[in-house]
Amino acid sequence: MIPVADLHCDLLCYLEENPARTPYDSVVRCSFPQLMKGHVKLQTLANFTHTGPLSVKKGMAQVQLYRQLALLYPKDVKRGQMPFSMPGQTDPVALLMAFENASGFCGEEEPLKDGINRLQAVIRDVGKPLYISLTWNTENRFGGGALTNCGLKEDGKRLLEELNGQGIAIDLSHASDPLAYEMIDYIENKGLDIPLMASHSNARAIKNVPRNLPTDIAKELFRRRAIVGLNLYGPFVGLSEEAILQHLAFWLELGGEKYMCFGSDFFYEGDFSTIQRVKGQDLFFKRYPDASCYPALIEFIRKELKLSESIVHQLAYQNAVDFLNRLGAKI
């Protein structure tokens, strides 16, 4: 079976919402059994919080949950480290953590230095996050999210400067267009060593929603050898599962063969009352409802797009592994 690397799921915030929940609950769509059935061997766990008074408290609680998972369930999962190679078929799933919103380590009203110190403490405790998104869909002290027209703020610039050379990627998946463009320009003009990526976004040219990538941003990411994770959330894909193929085919046309990955975005919808929905459409396709779907999904993609075995393996895991190792630091 082909192993899979996935750049984004919402298991941590699911567990943080209720202490009675477990990583074996199928409703989260990315439970341990579902990951193992899908042959997922590398899973990035998003540390997700809304921006608000409880954002730091919730973010730090999720850090501790991440820390505990490998200790409590060593037969099922382990913490990923660099240099990274895909585990064998019988090995535990390797886990990485990422911040889906920088509000998870830095509150809106506190001194920025306190938030930076908190992030450094997290790194000492559990290792570097794979990536940080400055904000989620809304606006915070760092910049504007995908549902805003706000760009990069002064605190966002200062955070980027703090991340210079640390081997932590900046995620553009939830950035507004102005924020994405202004971050790219700021990183370029200041000569900052900060990798970029889009952990769970599709092509806006195929499905025109704010959360998907404009074509010029996708081209810029591929030019920078940055990875883009295919999001399986239906409203970001299209009305039929064939749209999955269209997103991938479009990226291949843009030169993304070595940079396409999976970023499924599996989550428990009961925790997200404001998520985007399309009338008459399921949140995820019936054939691909959770992390166990990967063998069927990969075969569907391989067959319909007539991909070579090499490209299939690149999409499934190798592109993600190569990017991780290009970061060049222990995670």
Q: Tell me the mean pLDDT in the region 293-322.
A: 98
Q: Is the peptide bond before 83 cis (omega within 30 degrees of 0)?
A: yes
N residues, the chain? 331
The predicted-structure confidence for 113-146, as pLDDT tens digits, reads as follows 999 999 999 999 999 999 999 999 999 999 999 9
Alpha-carbon gap, residue 97 to 266, rounded angstroms: 15
Range with the lowest mean pLDDT among 89-103, 117-131, 260-274, 275-289?
A: 275-289
The predicted-structure confidence for 181-196, as pLDDT tens digits, reads as follows 999 999 999 999 999 9
User: How confident is the model at residue 276, as a pLDDT?
Assistant: 67
Alpha-carbon gap, residue 308 to 65, rounded angstroms: 39
Alpha-carbon gap, residue 124 to 104, rounded angstroms: 16
Q: Quick check: 265 and 200 in contact, CB under 8 A?
A: yes
State how many domains the chain has.
1
Res. 269 pLDDT band, cuts 50 70 90: very high
Q: Tell me the mean pLDDT in the region 67-88.
A: 89
Contacts of 183 (CB under 8 A, 6+ apart): 134, 143, 152, 156, 160, 170, 172, 175, 196
Q: Which residue has the tokens 């054939």?
A: 287
Res. 88 pLDDT band, cuts 50 70 90: confident
User: How confident is the model at residue 272, as a pLDDT?
Assistant: 84
User: How confident is the model at residue 329, as a pLDDT?
Assistant: 43
Range with the lowest mean pLDDT among 50-59, 81-90, 211-220?
A: 81-90
Residue 188 has a CB neighbour count (10 Å cut-off) of 11
Q: What is the mean pLDDT of the chain?
A: 96
pLDDT above 50 for 314: yes
> Domain span at residue 180?
4-327
Contacts of 112 (CB under 8 A, 6+ apart): 106, 141, 155, 158, 159
The predicted-structure confidence for 141-168, as pLDDT tens digits, reads as follows 999 999 999 999 999 999 999 999 999 9
Residue 321: CATH number of its domain: 3.20.20.140
Alpha-carbon gap, residue 109 to 196, rounded angstroms: 27
